[in-house]
A and B are shown apart, each in its own frame.
Chain A
Amino acid sequence: MDLEQIKKSAINAINNASTAQDLESVNVKYLGRKGVLTGVLHSLKDLSIEDRRKIGSKANALKQKLEELINKKSNSFRELSNKISFGFDVTKPGLKIFSGHLHPLSKIDAEVRKIFLSMNFSVVDGPEIENEYYNFDALNIPANHPARDMWDTFWLKSKNNPFRQLADSGQKSKLLLRTHTSPVQIRYMEKHNPPFQIIVPGRVFRYEATDMSHEFNFYQVEGLMVGSDVSLANFKFVVEEFCRKLFGSKVQFRFRPGYFPFVEPGLEVDIKLEGGGWLEVMGAGMVQRNVFDAVRYNPDEVQGFAFGMGLDRLAMIKYKIPDIRLFYNGDLRFIRQF
């Protein structure tokens, strides 16, 4: 092969190389230790001085030229492979797809309902405007009894309007905003027979000044389980299960006496999370016999427990929210944290 042929086929081969590997084999073929052009250069020593000079300079020029071409092509391959691994910058931030946020009270409400549904408790609703009978009398909180003072009440204005409703007792009963979800106990029992177990989440109202831990409207979850042998020990089981599911298995409990006219014995439940102190979360007890009387159950045949807890308080504990008022001011800087 003369130099012209070598030049032609080499340049051709370089141009046709489509991968870095192809190019390397072209390099080896022509410029390698046993390469074609290398062979020509080695054979120079056998030639005359004149030929040696003539062919030698040409061969060297060709070698230089081929090296140049191979380098150039090789660079282009490197760029290409760089482009494949670096040109597509996967570290750029993802597109921000905005999704809204549930209110933390809706979140905790959903969680509480889910836990109780898993324990076969049904979820029941009731009205926010109540009458005195359902909110107090039927729950063994008679008029003119100091126990009523435990619930500061918003009354509906009754001047020349009919804000009294016929209660089941047949007596006219003054209207108010329910101070607890407990009236739904009565409403439910009037229409259903035991055995059953229900929870009642909902908004309740108290006539009191607002501060970090008080709001004049807030949320409660009421629980009620009635059957022929539903005991206080069963109550402890249900509440412990619930709190462990909501706050984790390390939660500690304290069950101590409490007073609510519609339960007896009455209890209060405190919980303690890791590193914290005791926190009151629940009032509870065995349903008082007068309450069963009010819904025409036979208190000697049925028994059961009831409990009530503040949803706001559970959310405050779970999400470490310091001020209850944050729930009701609609500030999205707050809502969007949940």
Chain B
Amino acid sequence: MKFSYDLIKKFLPLIKNKAQIIEALTMRAFEAEDASGNTFEVNLPPNRYSDASSHWGIVKELTAIFDWLVDYGSMKKLPVVDFVKNKSTARKKKSLNIKVWDQKLCPRYTACYLEGISIKDSPKWLQDILKDCGLRPINNVVDVMNYVMLEMGQPLHAFDVDKLEGGKLIIRRAKKREEMATIDGVKYSLTPEILVIADAKKPVAIAGIKGGRGPEVSKTTKRIIIEAANFDSVSIYKTSKILGLVTDASVRFSRLLSEELAILGLGRSAYLLEDLFGAKIIDYFDSRKKLLPKHILKFDINKFNKFIGVDLKREEAAVYLRRLGFKNILKDEWEAPILRTDIENHEDVIEEVARLQGFDDLKSRAPRVNLVPALEDDLIILKEKARNALVSLGADEVYNHSFVSRKDLDLMSVKIGDVIELENPISREFQYLRSSLKSGLIVNFGHNSKFFNDFKIFEIGKVFNRNGKRIQEYNSLGILFASKNKETFFALKGVMSSFLKSLGVVDFIFAPENSSKLAPFKEGSVLKLEVDGSINGYLGKFAGVSKGWHVSILELDFDKLLKSIEGEAEYRPLSKYPAVMRDLSIFVKKSIQIGDVMQEIELSNEKLINDADLVDEYFDSKQGDKQSLTFRIVFQVEDRTLTNEEVDREMDKIISLLKRKFSAQIR
């Protein structure tokens, strides 16, 4: 919100410069910053509009901060017509006909009837202040309405009495299918949720938001009604959203203004019209018959000290409260200033004292902490472990957006019904919540392939999908290995095995996945990762890459992995007896899968065989459809040295097994 430095200075000549105001407000009240020319900007919190969204309000705040004694009651620099005190003098004629039909949405409606209006330009000083604050001068009546809003914070509206049907105003809800054009000519369809100001026939203003076309002040206007009302903040907020219409007035009214502000604004605007332009006050109206209740709160200095962590004396706190306009009623009882709609409970009062004293000056104190050891969620620990493990295995970590496009989903062959769509996406590029990390990693591959020939990337992040009515959100781990001219599939497979072992996952296997539809993978180049006997993810070669590139991707359900982690590694005695290594070279048909052969070897005698590895493979057209494989088999037992004869016997068994199962030929 913009403020005119000149106007503040007029009220508060002690002020030295803008910087002084900005520093004081920022450190003791709310954020303020310099703006161009004669103005500064205040970032007013929504709960301070009632008392501080005006030059007068800022002046009060500054006097409290600087402890400059200003008598709040008298408002010497802001003379008003005091309708409440001088009821008889103000009401010369009964000429106002105003009915409030909906008191809930309009807790207070005040109005003043003036004659002898002559429309002209307002004086330059007034126009300048409007301009400084971003408003356009229009004519003297409208300008006074706007000026008083800036000065006191109450939005006002003026109607041309002669253009009001039946000369009366009714505050009511709009009828079904009622319409109204605002001053700027835009037509709005209204609903019964919306409060309007109507004359005898039709709405003439959307209450608290904008005036209607017709009875607005024009060059020929002679007699006016000034409206200074209070409207239900929630209703104004909703109406403003429904109509998509945000105005100075709607912003203010939706932030809970005090009902008192209405009569103050009315008195001030009447005074200015009379004083500056010779208008005559004929009549006034106020829907509130009783005074507003006083808001009295207790302030407990002990609670304050415990809450803030200081040792302030009761009298010191009292000084701060007085500076803010609080009145001491009884010992610990204080009456809040009438415009402070934000002061509702003890903490509100505590905040006032604490902030005026200054948070910056508050001495920090070490808290007393119970000696319960701090913990981290298992998942957070596992994520960190996984990141560090993957980094040590040579992969770089990336973060991608949580949103994907329809195109990204199509690439994965994901059905729209299985993903979650945003109601208000930023753009179509970011319309859905990602159900996989792959599309992000593939985009990263495309970008980085311009700069690197060989890289490994991974991401750990939330993915989302939906299964009928159930929404699922879980952490996923995606890894992509890319290389120009070099196969990456087995590197990824090997790295993942080391990785899973390093996390403490023991029971896992990679098994061929023959399902043909596992986009974005190349058919026949996919492995499923089974952990504890259930599928946890897939590893495959990415089908859509440019020539020469080998891109392999693995994605797994990270949350599920957590459940498969076996606690601590456990010591096994080191064998005192030597291991015996034997190599075995065979020819088998190309269609035989190496994994099957290895498994057969390993299971042939689990007691004696410690490990089996593929150490060589080749494929030669001279051998027809056969491949040559060399396995290295490690025999070892814990309680004795194996004899050559024993190992020879085992080798014979394996050979005959492989001959039988795979028609293997020994090389």
Residues of A within 8 A of B (CB): 98-103, 105-106, 110, 113, 116-117, 119-125, 127-129, 144-147, 154-158, 161-163, 175, 177, 195-197, 201, 203, 205, 207, 209, 216-217, 225, 227, 229-234, 236-238, 240, 253-259, 264-268, 286, 288-289, 303, 327-333, 335-336
Query: Are the CB atoms of A332 and B448 closer together than 8 Å?
Result: yes
Query: Are the CB atoms of A254 and B360 closer together than 8 Å?
Result: yes
Q: Chain A interface secondary structure, helix, strand, loop or mixed?
A: mixed
- Do A238 and B367 contact each other (CB < 8 Å), given the known contacts A145-B234, A232-B309, A233-B310? yes
Q: Measured between alpha carbons, how far is A122 from B400 in the docked complex, in Å?
A: 27
Q: Mark B389-403, 1 if CB is under 8 A from A, else 0.
A: 011111111111111
Q: Which residues of B contact A99 (CB under 8 A)?
A: 391-392, 394
The residue on B at minimum CB distance from A290 is: B345
Offer 23 A-B interface pairs, CB within 8 angstroms, sorted by A.
Answer: A99-B391, A101-B397, A102-B387, A106-B387, A124-B377, A129-B473, A144-B238, A156-B422, A156-B423, A157-B423, A175-B471, A207-B424, A207-B426, A216-B430, A232-B362, A233-B365, A234-B364, A259-B46, A265-B350, A265-B354, A288-B347, A328-B401, A330-B441
Query: Are the CB atoms of A234 and B466 closer together than 8 Å?
Result: no
Kindly identify which residue among B306, B363, B462 contacts A203, using a CB–CB cutoff of 8 Å. B462
**How many Cβ-Cβ contacts under 8 Å join chain A to chain B?**
235
Q: Which residues of B contact A225 (CB under 8 A)?
A: 367
Stretch of B134-142, B368-376, B633-641 on the interface side: B368-376
Q: Does B268 contact A (CB under 8 A)?
A: no
The residue on A at minimum CB distance from B471 is: A129
Q: Which residues of A contact B549 (CB under 8 A)?
A: none
Kindly identify which residue among B30, B238, B348, B365 contacts A259, using a CB–CB cutoff of 8 Å. B30
Query: Are the CB atoms of A330 and B444 closer together than 8 Å?
Result: yes
Q: Which residues of B contact A330 (CB under 8 A)?
A: 398-400, 440-441, 443-444, 447-448, 457
Stretch of B21-29, B164-172, B575-583 on the interface side: B21-29
Kindly identify which residue among B31, B380, B420, B440 contacts A125, using a CB–CB cutoff of 8 Å. B380
Query: Are the CB atoms of A335 and B398 closer together than 8 Å?
Result: yes
Q: Does B45 contact A (CB under 8 A)?
A: yes
Q: Which residues of A contact B440 (CB under 8 A)?
A: 330
Query: Are the CB atoms of A229 and B447 closer together than 8 Å?
Result: no
The residue on A at minimum CB distance from B250 is: A146
Residues of B within 8 A of A (CB): 26-31, 45-48, 234, 237-238, 251, 254-255, 306-310, 345, 347-348, 350-351, 354-355, 359-360, 362-370, 372-377, 379-380, 384, 387-388, 390-403, 420-426, 430, 433, 440-441, 443-444, 447-448, 451-452, 455-457, 461-462, 464, 466, 469, 471, 473
Query: Are the CB atoms of B306 and A303 closer together than 8 Å?
Result: yes
Query: Are the CB atoms of B355 and A257 closer together than 8 Å?
Result: yes
Q: Which residues of A contact B456 (CB under 8 A)?
A: 100
- Do A161 and B308 contact each other (CB < 8 Å), given the known contacts A123-B380, A233-B364, A233-B365? no
Query: Are the CB atoms of A216 and B307 closer together than 8 Å?
Result: no
Kindly identify which residue among A100, A117, A332 contacts B451, using a CB–CB cutoff of 8 Å. A332
- Do A328 and B364 contact each other (CB < 8 Å), given the known contacts A129-B464, A157-B423? no
B292, chain A: closest CB distance, angstroms: 22
Q: Measured between alpha carbons, how far is A155 from B440 in the docked complex, in Å?
A: 22
Q: Measured between alpha carbons, how far is A255 from B355 in the docked complex, in Å?
A: 10
Kindly identify which residue among B308, B390, B396, B421 contacts A335, using a CB–CB cutoff of 8 Å. B396
- Do A102 and B391 contact each other (CB < 8 Å), given the known contacts A113-B376, A330-B444? yes
Query: Are the CB atoms of A289 and B376 closer together than 8 Å?
Result: no
- Do A286 and B424 contact each other (CB < 8 Å), given the known contacts A125-B377, A197-B369? no
Query: Are the CB atoms of B396 and A289 closer together than 8 Å?
Result: no
Q: Which residues of A contact B433 (CB under 8 A)?
A: 129, 177
Q: Which residues of A contact B443 (CB under 8 A)?
A: 330
Q: Chain B interface secondary structure, helix, strand, loop or mixed?
A: mixed
Q: Which residues of A contact B367 (CB under 8 A)?
A: 197, 225, 227, 230-231, 234, 237-238
A307, chain B: closest CB distance, angstroms: 13
The residue on B at minimum CB distance from A197 is: B369
Q: Which residues of A contact B310 (CB under 8 A)?
A: 233
Q: Measured between alpha carbons, how far is A330 from B396 in the docked complex, in Å?
A: 9
Q: Which residues of A contact B376 (CB under 8 A)?
A: 113, 117, 122-123
Q: Which residues of A contact B469 (CB under 8 A)?
A: 161-162
Query: Are the CB atoms of A331 and B448 closer together than 8 Å?
Result: yes
Q: Which residues of A contact B421 (CB under 8 A)?
A: 156-157
Q: Which residues of A contact B47 (CB under 8 A)?
A: 147, 259
The residue on A at minimum CB distance from B456 is: A100
Q: Measured between alpha carbons, how far is A267 from B31 in the docked complex, in Å?
A: 11
Q: Measured between alpha carbons, how far is A286 from B350 in the docked complex, in Å?
A: 11
- Do A217 and B26 contact each other (CB < 8 Å), given the known contacts A99-B392, A156-B421? no
B422, chain A: closest CB distance, angstroms: 5
Q: Measured between alpha carbons, how far is A200 from B254 in the docked complex, in Å?
A: 33
Q: Measured between alpha carbons, how far is A128 from B377 in the docked complex, in Å?
A: 16
Q: Which residues of B contact A121 (CB under 8 A)?
A: 374
Q: Measured between alpha carbons, how far is A103 from B354 in the docked complex, in Å?
A: 41
Q: Measured between alpha carbons, how far is A133 from B469 in the docked complex, in Å?
A: 19
Query: Are the CB atoms of A101 and B237 closer together than 8 Å?
Result: no
The residue on A at minimum CB distance from B353 is: A265
B482, chain A: closest CB distance, angstroms: 11
Query: Are the CB atoms of A255 and B392 closer together than 8 Å?
Result: no
Q: Measured between alpha carbons, how far is A333 from B425 in the docked complex, in Å?
A: 30
A-B CB proximity, top 7 nearest? A233-B309, A231-B309, A259-B45, A330-B444, A236-B364, A234-B367, A265-B351
Q: Which residues of B contact A286 (CB under 8 A)?
A: 307, 347
Query: Are the CB atoms of B359 and A155 closer together than 8 Å?
Result: no
A8, chain B: closest CB distance, angstroms: 56
Kindly identify which residue among B359, B402, B457 contacts A265, using a CB–CB cutoff of 8 Å. B359
B617, chain A: closest CB distance, angstroms: 27
B241, chain A: closest CB distance, angstroms: 8
Query: Are the CB atoms of A229 and B387 closer together than 8 Å?
Result: no
Kindly identify which residue among B26, B29, B402, B422 contacts A155, using a CB–CB cutoff of 8 Å. B422
Kindly identify which residue among A103, A163, A231 contacts B398, using a CB–CB cutoff of 8 Å. A103
Q: Measured between alpha carbons, how far is A226 from B237 in the docked complex, in Å?
A: 34
Q: Which residues of B contact A240 (CB under 8 A)?
A: 364
